[in-house]
Structure 1
Amino acid sequence: MRNIFLLTPILFFGLSGCVSEENPKIDAADSVNIPTQGLSTPNTYPGMNLVWADEFDGATLNSANWSHETGNGQNGWGNNELQFYRPQNTSIQNGHLVITAKKESFSGKEYTSSRIITKGKQQFRYGRVDIRAVLPKGQGIWPALWMLGSNFDTVSWPACGEIDIMEMIGGNGREKTVHGTVHWEHDGKHAQFGGEYSLASGTLSDKFHVYSIVWDATSIRWFIDNKQYHVIDTTPAQLDEFRRSFFFIFNIAVGGNWPGSPDGTSTFPQHMIVDYVRVFQNN
């Protein structure tokens, strides 16, 4: 993928730490119309067991699964991002996780959003991951559903490895394209390999799509709505990062080196709506 400056530096530049989950009141302006259209995937696959899922059916974000990361980090999480991450921009609505990006002044920043992680709570090595989501839209909007190696505290990035299940860059006709990428360390330097898929019509904000990876000891494959669009052979020794456990990160960034800043065409609030995340592993 060209000109990528990914979200990972959030974890390495001025990490603010985790705060306890709250149940903030949902303002009328933050309530969303949840689409009814789009693919749903099964909760069983032949030869695999469902080992973990969050269907977001409770009244609040499940603190047994997720923590919040907050703030703007150093140099906008290393990417010159413009948002301040807050727990208040996460809500559970009608059985869906909603992460909301807003244009509002807070703590010296002009935008707010949320970033949630399963670090220290849920981590996985291999399997199939399905995430059903509707994406936000607009210039400067950068939603991501991704994973980091659980050992990043000790080896740092990119040696911990990163698996981007889904990234989308808003504006300029880019909202029909999903990106899937891995990042790792090779000879002491950052290496990456990515692919993308564009819808024949419409955008990724129109309805639900399912973003998936199938990951084992030899490869990672990326899918959208069960259509494979990218694969990497992970058997080389320098890709050993991808034979260890990883945790999840869901967020919307605003601005940054890759998407650029919002402009006069951007509208707020913007929402990423997640119906479920499911992890399956071989019997």
Structure 2
Amino acid sequence: MTDRAHDGSGARNRLTRVALVLALGALLSGCGSARTHTRPPAAGDGPFWQAEFDGAAGTRPPEGSWTTETGNRDAEGWGNDELQYYTDDAANSALDGAGHLVISARPAPAGSELPCWTQEFCTWTSARLTTEGRTALTHGRVEVRAKLPTGTGLLPAIWMLGDNGVEWPGQGEIDICEVVGGEPRTVYGTAHGPTYFNENGIGGSTPLAADASEGFHTYAVDKQPRRITWSVDGEPYFTLTPQTLPSPRDWVFEQDMHLLLNVAVGGDWPGPPDTSTPSPASMTVDHVRFYGTGRA
């Protein structure tokens, strides 16, 4: 990975981000933002790659498909001054025996002394899984059916990074979904590139009827040539094209992009956890599916 260990959508000011989303919603009301239902892939057009997470409880995700990244300090707090130390322990990422992958953020064990970027030791552990070097989407749809943790200081993310070998943000990033801190019923989807990144990332948001932790939803991105559409449960809420960008030449998404799943704790956008933060705070993933073209 060639970025500075960036995690999710980077350092943000929450109020700035919300204002940006609202402004974009107004600007794009006539540019593909109509809420027409997204059809599922046609019958017979099955996924070219999928992860269904069948296996015994406590077993690790298949190494042939996933890499578990670790650390914090050497990754500069994953680019966002985060407080979790990513591990490859089954306590932080494992199958549950019922067809799910569970990624759990937990307080760090007493005496663990895990080196942290923003303080001497990390106070939480979690996991960050990636398909980098294994599986990537070129054009088509990626969909992830998952239940996301909610609570103060949490930032679960399902997202993609480009495989073009360029340093972030020129690498390109698509945040398929994020649910931040104290906004348990809001899903954010964002794109980052050479001139639009961190608090200037371009995206939208959509409400959920209940907290994201209360049920499974299908979070998806349709990545077509020069057009990306975000949806939840088949309902699109934001579309990005080159004309949406500060400059159309800054479109960097005509490339293979790999998937990442993680639960971050603390950092610049959600703020620190507190006594109300659930522990464990778990992302439960039912399946991941790639449709269209790519590398598997």
1:195 aligns with 2:204: yes
Between 1:159-168 and 1:264-273, the stretch displaced more is 264-273
CA 1:189/1:261 → structure 2, altered by over 3 Å: closer, same or farther? closer
State the one-letter code of the partner of 2:160.
M
**What is the CA RMSD across the aligned residues, in angstroms?**
2.5
Following superposition of structure 1 onto structure 2, how do residues 1-40 of structure 1 map, counting pairs within 5 Å?
9-11=4-6
Runs of 4+ in structure 1 displaced over 6 angstroms?
187-190
The letter for the 1-side match of 2:167 is: S
CA contact (8 A) 1:142 1:167 kept: yes
Contact 2:169–2:197 (Cα < 8 Å) also in 1: no
Aligned ranges 1:155-170 → 2 under 5 Å: 155-170=166-181
Contact 1:184 1:190 in 2 (8 A): no
Q: Please tell me whether the aligned partners of residues 184 and 191 of structure 1 are also in contact (alpha carbons under 8 angstroms).
A: no
Offset of residue 97 of structure 1: 0.4
Q: Which moved more, 1:103-112 or 1:78-87?
A: 103-112
1:99 is the counterpart of 2:108: no
1:77 CA displacement = 1.4
Give 1:48 deviation, angstroms. Answer: 3.6
Q: How many residues matched?
A: 242
Asked if 1:45 corresponds to 2:54, the answer is no
Partner Cα separation in structure 2 for residue 147 and residue 68 of structure 1: 15
The one-letter code matched in structure 2 to 1:102 is R
Give 1:50 deviation, angstroms. Answer: 1.4
After TM superposition, the structure 1 = structure 2 runs for residues 133-282 of structure 1, keeping only pairs within 5 Å, are 133-151=146-164, 154-171=165-182, 174-186=183-195, 192-199=201-208, 201-234=209-242, 237-281=248-292
Question: 1:115 — aligned with what?
Answer: 128
Match of 1:32 in 2: none
How many angstroms apart in 1 are the aligned matches of 2:105 and 2:277?
11
Q: Distance in 2 between matches of 1:101 and 1:51?
A: 31
Please say which of residues 229-238 and 269-278 is displaced more in the overlay: 229-238
Q: 1:58 corresponds to which residue?
A: 55
User: For residues 133 and 56 of structure 1, what CA distance do their matches in structure 2 show?
Assistant: 12
Change (3 A) 1:247 1:269: same
> How many percent of aligned residue pairs carry the same amino acid?
38
Letter in 2 for 1:204: A
Measured after TM superposition, the shift of residue 269 of structure 1 is 0.9
Counterpart position of 2:85: 84
Unpaired runs of 5+ residues, structure 2, are 8-37, 115-120
Report the equivalent of 2:34. Answer: none
Separation in 1 of the partners of 2:193 and 2:220?
20
The answer (yes or no) to whether the contact 2:47–2:290 under 8 Å persists in 1 is yes
Whole-Å separation in 2 of the counterparts to 1:112 and 1:137: 16
How far apart are the structure 2 equivalents of 1:274 and 1:158? 27
* Cα shift at 1:10: 1.9
TM-score normalised by L of structure 2: 0.76
Higher strand share: 1
C-alpha deviation, 1:129, in angstroms: 1.2
Report if aligned partners of 1:220, 1:234 keep a CA contact under 8 Å in 2: no
Is this contact kept in 1: 2:196–2:202, CA < 8 A? no
Work out the CA distance in 2 between the residues paired with 1:276 and 1:188: 29
Contact 1:9 1:77 in 2 (8 A): yes
Any stretches of 5+ residues in structure 1 without a counterpart?
1-7, 13-40
Q: Distance in 1 between matches of 2:226 and 2:258?
A: 19
Instruction: Tell me the secondary structure at the aligned position of residue 243 of structure 1.
Output: coil
* DSSP-derived class of the 2:5 partner: helix
Q: Do the aligned partners of residues 194 and 187 (structure 1) sit closer, same or farther apart at CA in structure 2, a change above 3 Å counting?
A: closer
**In 2, Cα distance between the equivalents of 1:80 and 1:46?**
45
